[in-house]
Amino acid sequence: MALLGERAAVAGEAAPPPPPANWQFAAKSAVRAAFGIVWAIDALMKWQPGFAAHYVGYLQNASQGQPGWLAPWFQFWLALVTPRQALFDRLLPHPFLRKVVYRLPKSLQPAPQRYSFVLALDAQGHVIGNFQNGASDCYSQIANVVEYNGTLYFGSIGEDSLGRFTLR
């Protein structure tokens, strides 16, 4: 007979797994507590006014004298899907007309220009590299870019393959 709160074993049913040993529970709790403390200290540092005011300086100072393989940590690549179109700029102050154009069938909507546009930015946001190509056969509508071993790899929302560009 099962005691109150216990479940009676049913024929053919596997027994529940045994509870974890005390040392396993203590180890998991200690690791969780350590991560919690690190997270709290990190959050406290980021909310200090001095940290936010000098963050860009920290990045610049950290990048000085570092080996070349660390450069991707101190520069960023920005992919722009397509250049701005004058038609959409003129529609900006007219929200009703923008909604009308948005609701047109895809075949009647203005097509994006076939264009490749990637910028390299430093830690301050200054442009340090500008790669553009407006040829009709270019890899276009680049949505993301990653640098690896001196080569840029592109992902696109308009192409069905990956793009690649070797730097230098």
Same domain? 118 vs 71 = yes
Let me know if residue 119 belongs to a domain: yes
Residue 8: inside a domain: no
The answer on 77 and 158 residing in a single domain is yes
Residues 58 and 126 in one domain: no
**Same domain, residue pair 76 and 27:** no
Co-location of 77 and 147 in the same domain: yes
Q: Describe the crossing of helices 22-46 and 49-63 by its angle, rounded to 10 degrees.
A: 90
Q: Are 27 and 78 found together in one domain? A: no
Asked if 154 contacts 163 with a C-beta cutoff of 8 angstroms, the reply is yes
Shared domain for 54 and 121, answered yes or no, is no
In a domain, 121, yes or no: yes
DSSP secondary structure of 4-60:
TTPPPPPTTPPPPPPPPPHHHHHHHHHHHHHHHHHHHHHHHHHTSHHHHHHHHHHHH
Q: 12 in a domain, yes or no? A: no
Total domains in the fold of the chain: 2
Whether 9 maps to a domain, the answer reads: no
123 and 156 co-located in one domain: yes
Residue 19: its pLDDT value, please? Answer: 63
Same structural domain, 52 and 76: no
Domain that holds residue 128: 67-84+112-166
pLDDT (tens place) for every residue of the chain, 168 residues total? 444 445 555 556 676 776 666 878 888 889 999 988 988 888 787 777 776 667 666 666 666 666 767 766 777 888 988 888 888 889 889 999 989 988 999 888 888 888 899 998 877 778 988 999 988 888 988 999 988 888 899 999 888 999 999 987
Instruction: Give yes or no: residues 43 and 74 share one domain.
Output: no
Q: Is residue 80 part of a domain?
A: yes
Whether residues 60 and 119 share a domain: the answer is no
